[in-house]
Amino acid sequence: MKYLIFRDSKRNMESLMKKAPCGYAVDFSPGKENSPDAILVTTDSKNAIYRIEYSSIKKYSDDENIVKKVSKGLKSTIMIDGVKGIDPIPLASFTFKKGASLIKDKFIVGSMETMDGITKESAMENVSDVTVEIMNDALKAGADIPFSLASELATLKKKVSKKEFSEIFQRSIAEFKQREIDPYEAVGIIAAQSIGEPGTQMTMRTFHFAGVREMNVTLGLPRLIEIVDARRVPSTPSMTIYLRHEYEQSREVVEKVMREIENTTLIDVCELETDISEMTVTVKPIPNRLRERLVSGEDIFNVVSDPKTLKGAIVMEREKGNEVTVKPQQESFKNLYKLQEQLKSLTIKGIPGIKRAIARNEKGAWVIYTQGSNFRDIIEKVEEIDATRTYTNDIMEIYNVLGVEAVRNAIYLESERTLSEQGLEVDQRHLMLVADMMTFSGNVRAVGRQGISGKKSSVLARAAFEITTKHLLKAGISGEVDALNGVAENIIVGQPITLGTGSVNLVYKGFGSK
């Protein structure tokens, strides 16, 4: 599908919701070749949060029943039938023309494959008769098996004898039934115990890339805590960058990409010498670091002398050995200190956040590992990389770029990887339950008082976790009622919990009752 996407204010959208149907005058003309299937609106250039239902887009002409987006430069009128809020769709999930940017172009046309209109019935039309037959046979045996299992059995049926397939089918049904959860099973407690018990055996260590002193990745218990706490920034963010298949065997392309993405600041390749008497800062390049980071003296001079990057400073002179002397426009010790700190963080080249990049040849294909992460800029600005395989260990960055379903998978994968690296096996269903609980609301919530535990409906359950007095006092002031439906609150008051046999209510009718 082809989408017209533009940025607008929340105020304008709320106004259109009230006035629709109406015309909306905009400073954009899509043209016949760019006629969109749908129109989406973003308020932050990150996620589309409104969908506009429209009948046509025509040339602008002033009219009373028209809402104007801006006061000048109006070109087209969108005839709007209605506006509705939608779940956030990351703009990174759309495909745009090369060089298109929402900030630069204001209005852009992008495409995205969608699953609109696909129902279970229509999807089953393309399923083989053998798979449907196996699913029906399983239902007769009392097991509603998933499509993935039925398709695997269908593939096996063609390869083995009838007797062998019968044995495989019976065993698959038996194992499937064995793994089903009984009603009122305490899945949360079992998952917590299954992850917590092996978690006590985990070491507190980091993985070190041999030969590169800066490259470390947090593993073990600290990493598991980072994941379940949904930390905004992990202690050691890193990315695994794969190149497109046509480039992955080229050493020259790998080196080019590394030079392009590695963020090099002035302090990485230079020494700063401050002269208080003269009120100057001298930038002295270090030759071996320049060679290591593939930076020239000319690059340093261009960055330092650019008024857009270095504000409030005057370039005094360029000395021998590419040394550059700079002084503040208004001479004072405070401004001299500010200039020095500004020079330290001055970016010479690369993508912000990517401090270091190394490449390794794995099975004939080059893979780039980075210290630091900037998922959005990497997949948007570097054409040679394969965005479908490139990965970051920063789960919040995945959420901001790809959305909640992607971060759900990332939480599971990161948890499973962290445990398996220590030789600990935890059933994937427990990890999937944790990932589901952290993301089912549409946002990423921590497993703690700031997230899942702190948002429970039961007052006693919240009070049993942390800061008891605060929870009880707040509940008393607001007059909250605890229905005692959960486990913790029933244990506190000494009642049977509502799980297992405690979930059954028996009523005794005496003699003579009707």
Quote the CA–CA distance of 175 and 70 in Å, as a whole number: 64
Q: Which residue has the tokens 């194992």?
A: 175
**CATH class belonging to 264-349:** alpha beta
| Cα 168 from chain centroid (whole Å) | 40
Strand (E) or helix (H) holding 377:
helix 375-381
Band of pLDDT at residue 117, cut at 50, 70 and 90: very low
Backbone angles phi, psi at 443, to 5 degrees: -120, 170
Dist CA 72 CA 382 (whole Å): 36
Highest-scoring range by mean pLDDT, 46-55, 77-86, 397-406, 439-448: 397-406
| Better-predicted residue by pLDDT, 228 or 199 | 228
N-terminal to C-terminal alpha carbon distance within the chain: 64
Query: What's the mean pLDDT in 50-60?
Result: 84
64 C-beta neighbours (distance < 10 Å), count? 5
CATH C-level class of 456-503: mainly alpha
> Does 116 have pLDDT greater than 50?
no
Instruction: Give the chain's mean pLDDT.
Output: 80
Any idea which of 138-152, 164-178, 442-456 has the lowest mean pLDDT? 442-456
Q: Which span out of 279-288, 392-401, 452-461 was modeled with the highest average pLDDT?
A: 392-401
What is the reported pLDDT for 414?
Answer: 92
Three-class DSSP category at 41: strand
Percent of the chain with pLDDT strictly greater than 90: 6
Task: Please tell me the predicted confidence (pLDDT) of residue 453.
Answer: 77
Give how far Cα 27 sits from Cα of 37, 61, 68, Å: 19, 12, 9
Give the CA distances from residue 122 to residues 119, 131, 135, in Å, rounded to whole numbers and listed in that order: 5, 15, 16
Q: Which of 82, 76, 99 is nearest to 38 (CA)?
A: 82
DSSP per-residue codes, 208-236: E-TT-TT-EEE-HHHHHHHHHTT-SS-SS
Please determine, for residue 101, whether its predicted confidence score (pLDDT) is greater than 60: no
At residue 100 the predicted structure's pLDDT band, cuts being 50, 70 and 90, is low
Query: What's the pLDDT score for residue 408?
Result: 93
pLDDT at residue 143, as a whole number: 86
pLDDT higher than threshold 70 for residue 35: no
Average pLDDT for 243-260 = 86
Where exactly are the structural domains of the chain? 2-111, 128-178, 238-262+354-392, 264-349, 456-503
CATH of domain 2-111: 2.30.130
Question: What's this model's pTM, rounded to 2 decimal places?
Answer: 0.63
pLDDT in tens, 475-498: 888 888 888 888 888 888 888 888
**Taking 60 as the threshold, does the pLDDT of residue 457 lie above it?**
yes
Spatial separation of the C-alpha atoms in residues 380 and 101, rounded to whole Å: 10
